Amino acid sequence: MPLVEAPRFDLDDGLFDNRFGMQEDNIIEKLIEHDELLKQIVTKAELADFRLEQTVVNDEMLTILKRIDEERYATIEWIRRIEQVVEVHERQIQEIKTSLNFST
């Protein structure tokens, strides 16, 4: 039996390469670009670690703010007591001046 020559697809392959070769390059370029973007996506574990870190930092800041607020209240009370003492001293000075007949 004589060998039958298989049909040649060289011409068809050339047409396919010309039409779709450029798209194939674009697809490969996009795949590489998407691969790089996927590397930048945060995993759930990384997000959980970040949240824990932020929670710790926020707790530290709240502790500092509470202490500052408590110190502010203590300072206000301290100033109020000093002002009361100053008022008493001013009255005593006025009484002394009056008893010594000093005019102000």
66: closest CA among 76, 74, 77?
Answer: 74
Question: Of the candidates 91, 59, 15, which has an alpha carbon nearest to the alpha carbon of residue 99?
Answer: 91
- Rounded Cα distance, 44 and 54, in Å: 15
Per-residue pLDDT 10s for the chain (104 aa) are 555 555 555 555 555 555 555 678 888 888 898 888 888 888 888 889 999 999 999 999 999 999 999 999 999 999 999 999 999 999 999 999 999 987 65
Token pair listed for 96: 């002394």
pTM of the model: 0.48
| pLDDT of amino acid 57 | 97
Query: What is residue 7's three-state secondary structure?
Result: coil
Please provide residue 9's backbone torsions phi and psi, each rounded to the nearest 5 degrees: -110, 15
Residue 90: its pLDDT value, please? 96
CA distance 28 to 15: 20
- For residue 95, the model assigns a pLDDT of 92
